Amino acid sequence: MRFVIIGNQRTGSNYLVSLLKSHPDIICYGELFRKKYEINKFIPNLPNSFVDIKYRKENYKKLFENLDRYNVTYKYWGFKIFPEHYLFLIKKIIKDNNCKILYLSRKNLLAQYSSLKIAKQSKIFFKKIDLNNEYKNTTNFDAKEFDFFINKMNTFDDLIKSISINHKQFFKIKYEELFNLKNIEKILEFLNLDTFDLNSKSDKILNRNIISRFDNPNDCIKYLEKYDLKKWLYE
């Protein structure tokens, strides 16, 4: 069986992929449709034609059929994909009821916005638990940029809801729920898998005091007060 993790950047997709990888009945890939994804490295028996990203996108059904055969010893195989980058492909995948959908979202958009900005400037998008990465963990708050970010995230969320409304195997989970064992058990139940003590090789990078992530915290606080969004000061 197949599943796909759909979620915008900084909604916990790395963490969820790492968790699911630790289940003996699951193999979970990263961004199968990212240009720099070394698909022949992670799936060595695939035909070389799938190395080309354009061919991979145009022939995603053939790719899935190959992965069905390649991963026959597992009950499930899956991957993740970002709506921002591959919306046209997500629409096609969601129409396929043979693929279960795990949709990630994040309530605190200020936390998501700051996390994404810091990840891009530091070029560190996830941290392994056994590593102590040194990087600048603050960024600048830009009101216009944040307005655009909020609108974009809400648009994607509404769109995914609308195109998945008739999907029979759709499961939504919030970033904030990922770190609760009971919610992880619900994901395994959705996949019809037995409970297993899952563990992740990645960890959260930033602290829960969101305002401390900004070099200009006063500008951020003024914005939150203006729009009654002070609930986003902490996560």
Residues in Cβ contact with 131 at an 8 Å cutoff, skipping those fewer than 6 apart = none
Which residue, 68, 73, 80, is CA-closest to 28? 80
Residue 5 has pLDDT above 90, yes or no: yes
Single-letter amino acid, residue 115:
S
* Domains identified in the chain and CATH numbers: 2-233 (3.40.50.300)
At 111-124, the pLDDT tens digits run: 999 999 999 998 87
At 186-232, the pLDDT tens digits run: 999 999 999 898 887 766 655 689 999 999 999 999 999 999 999 99
Residues in Cβ contact with 7 at an 8 Å cutoff, skipping those fewer than 6 apart = 13, 80, 82, 83, 103, 104, 105
Average predicted confidence (pLDDT) for the chain: 90
